[in-house]
Structures are given as C-alpha cells and as structure tokens.
Amino acid sequence: MGGDRYAMRNSYRFFAMLALAPVAAFLVYPAGVLFAHGWGEGLRENLLTEERFWRIVLFTYSQAFLSTALAGCVGGVMAVAFTEWGLKGKGLLWRAGLLCYSLPSILVASAVVMTWGSRGPLAVFGIESGAEGWSGILLAHTFLNFGLFLKNLSLALRENGREEEIGALSLGLTRWQTFRVVTLPKVLPTFLSTALTVFLLCSSSFLIVLLLGGGPRFTSLEVAVFQAVRVNFQLGVAAQIAAFQVTVGTLLFLLIRRPRVMSSQSVWVELYSPRVGRPIWIGLLWGLFLWVAAWPLLGLLRAGWVGGSIQAWHGVWGPWLISVDLAVRTSLFCGVVALPLAMAAIHLGGPWGLAIEIAASLPVILSTTLISLSWMLAFRDQFFAWRGNLTLIAGIQAIGALPIVFRVISDGLGRISPSLYRSAQSIGVSAFQQVLWLELPLLRSSIVLAMSLAMAYSFGEVATVLMVMDEKTVTLPLWLYRMMCTYRFGEAAFVGVILMAGLVGLSSLWERLGAWRFR
C-alpha cells in the first residue's frame, strides 16, 4: 500500500509539472522580465516613502474589501435561497449571475450610470446618487461579482452531505445552531477562497474605478500602473507596484488559506427553508435581486432594443462567431491546465500544494495591464508575428481565467469524501484510474461551472484582444469597446445584448453536453 501511495504521489507531481509548464512560460517568465526591466529605474524612486502611494493603497484595498463584503452578502443569501428554498424561477438567478460576471467592465459602468444616474428609470423616485464615487464603484463591483459567490456556494451547499446536520437536529440543536456549528464550517473554505478571488479582482479593477471614480482621489493601484506605463513611461514605478501587489496577494492567500472539510456526499435534504413568513422572505429576496442585478440588466436590454439598427444586425455575426470560437478555446485550454493543477494541489498538500495554489493565483494578483506589458517585453518578436491569432489570444485569456477555474475545481475536489479514496486504493486503483472513474464523475458539476465561468471571462475580456488584435480579429467586446469610445451608446448596448444572448446559449449547451458526457 505504501508503494502504491508513493507511486500516486509521483503521478500527481507529474500532473503538476505538466500543467505548471504553460503557467511558467506564459506568466512567471514574462513577469520576471518585467521586473528585471523595471528594477534599475525602480531603485531611483522608492514608492514606499511617498504619502500619495499609501493613500492609493488605502483606497484600493478599502474599496476591494467593501466590494467583496457586499458581493459576499448578496451572493451568500442568494446561494442559500437557491439551494434550500425550493425557489420557483431560480434558474433566473443562476443565469443572471453568469451574465453579470461576463459583461465587459465598460458596459457595467454604463449600466450603473443608466440605472442610478440622473437619466435612469429610478431617477423619478429621487434615486440617482449611486452613479459615481464610492457608491458607483461598490454597486458595479457587487453587480459583477455576486454571481461567483452564488455559484460556488450553491455548489458547496448542494454537494456536501447532510448526515451531520440530521444528527445535530436529532440531538436537539436548532436549525440556526446546526447551520452555525455544522454547515458553516463545511462551506467556509469555499466562501473564503471565493472571497479572496473577488477581493483580488476588485483590487485590480481598472475601468470601473476609472469611469465611476469621478476624480483623482479615487485612483487605485491599477489606475496608477496605467498612468505609470502609458502616460509617464515609468516602467520602474509599474514594476514596484506589481511587486507590492504580488506581496500583498501572497500574504493574504497565506492568511486566509484553511484546511478543507470533507463530506460524505451521500444524503442531501433541504434544511434551511423559512417556515414562518415564507412569502415575505421570497419577496425580499427578489427585491434584492431586482435592486442589484435586474435593474441594470433590464436597462441594458432596453437601451439595446432602442439602439439596434440594420447596420448593427448585419455586422454582428462575424464578431459573434469569433467570440464563440475564442470562448470555447479559452475554456478548453483553461480546463486542461486547471484540472491537473487542482488535483496535484489537493492530493500533494504541504509545500507542493501551497506553491501550486500560489502559482495558480498569480494572474489575479497581477493586473491585466502588467500581464499585457510583460508579454510585449518577453515575447516581442513572436508577439508581433502572431498578432490576431485566436489560439494565442485564447492562451492568454486562459491564463487570466485560471484562478477562478482552479478555485472551482479544487473546491469540488475538496468535497470528495476521503473514504472513497481509501476504498479505491484498497483495491489497487492507479492514479489514472482514480481520476477517470472516481474524480471526473464526481467533479461533473464543478467542471461544468468552471468551464462556464471561463467562457464568461472570455466573452467579457477586451484587454487581451486590444493587445493582440489585427484588422480581422474583432470580437464582440472589442466591437462594443470601439462603439463606446465613439459615443455610440445605443449600438454598444445592442452589442451587449447579443453578447449576453450568446453567452446564455453557449453555457446552456455546455451544461447539457457536460452532463451527458459525464453521465
């Protein structure tokens, strides 16, 4: 048995090294080149001694913390209702969370302005103060990220068995005590890993802060990086900010990282549905959904319906097909890298597991601007030779989506009962057979969700396409971005509606194909 266990650990180390190769080639090496280029200039200017830098740091992580807290509260409440209440129309919550996450940041900022600004539908009630500043930034980040909490926590609640809860209730504990003592510790690792990802996403937010901040006092680290690189040409300042972001992100990861709580995954029953005032609670839930997600989405649909034109209809299909092709490639590439990384991180544990988890989190710790710049520095000749290549764009987008996909799959692996592994090892199952017969079937829901999130990331990502585009590579987000830059807001909203429709159709098809394939 000891030899089999040693052989399996070697197999997982091989999986990890195989999957870490593209991460090292396309992320770690370019980041190292960026730091090397900026080191000499950075020595001449020490940001840590400047008061303005610390004000930027304070604002960046304050708004990221508040945004994460709001998104966690909204997504957590919706996740409990989604899994526990037997809610009618809950598929609408699920799709809305995916749509909100997939929208490009520039369209999210426009939705916030259209909903909460002086010309929005709520202005007739005197509600128009949330279009810029702190309130606009927090609303936009909550709109973008509550879906990650909804989906990850729903999956964690659904896939954890309920034997412990049933036993606690039989011993006389109330449902609240059972939730606090038994259920919460089981889903807390998933909540914390999602919160860390959302926090880092919000701390590296660029267009949301730039468009909704409304002034210099709302400068974030990402905005400072953009100003240093594109305005002041201070590569050393950008490298120092990147090093600071990596340090903070790594420290947060080490502080928040918790051991995973395993479950038997055999019995699941609804325990936390409200017994008193159920219609009132359901009404409050739908009111929260209307306030956070439905109003902005309906505003975009209305603007898209009004702004649609014959020219837009005729021109949308080429970019739409390119976006679908790119999203499928991105999800497949990301899955091929994230799945073995998650398996190796969970099964190896210790220093190996920690190193893998930090490596998989690097794309969300570094900013999109810095990753793009590092690519241009590290692969200058190949970069310009491969401009417009969809495979290259999909590879870069897959690296960007890796942290989210990795978290979803690793959390799913953490919920598999250890007794199943012991049973498999007792009959001499190899590592490959364990993956094929045990883990992949039990990871079906997590893999489908992870691939849907990767496609959503590709549908909403425009920075990579801007960096590697040519005349023929026009995706829906890029087309939308160009329309927004030329103040064609109605047509941009129409393109956003087409983008949302394409994502819903593609994710629904993937979920059906994924369920059929794993069954």
Q: Would you list the domain boundaries of the chain?
A: 2-518
Residue 452, phi-psi category: left (phi > 0), alpha (psi -120 to 50), beta (remainder): alpha
- Please name the residues in contact with 467: beta carbons below 8 A apart, sequence gap of 6 or more: 372, 375, 376, 396
Residue among 308, 320, 300, 367 at smallest CA distance from 108: 300
Q: Report whether pLDDT(118) > 70.
A: no
> Alpha-carbon distance 132 to 113, whole Å?
8
Any alpha helices (H) in 48-127, and if so which ranges? 51-84, 90-102, 105-116
Domain 2-518: assigned CATH number: 1.10.3720.10
Q: Give residue-wise pLDDT tens across range 379-428.
A: 777 766 777 678 888 888 888 888 888 888 888 887 777 777 777 777 77
- Please name the residues in contact with 327: beta carbons below 8 A apart, sequence gap of 6 or more: 454, 455, 458, 459, 503, 506
How many residues in total does the chain contain?
A: 519
- Structure-block tokens of residue 244: 């600071």
Q: Give residue-wise pLDDT tens across range 280-336.
A: 888 888 888 888 888 888 877 777 776 555 555 666 777 888 888 888 899 888 888
Q: How confident is the model at residue 61 (pLDDT cuts 50, 70, 90)?
A: very high
Q: CB burial class (10 A; 0-12, 13-18, 19+) of residue 310?
A: exposed
Higher pLDDT, 61 or 444: 61
Q: Give residue-wise pLDDT tens across range 150-199.
A: 988 888 888 777 778 888 888 888 888 888 888 888 888 889 888 988 99
Q: Report whether pLDDT(68) > 90.
A: yes
Tally DSSP H helices, then E strands, for the chain.
27, 0
206 φ, ψ to 5°? -115, -65
389 φ, ψ to 5°? -75, 120
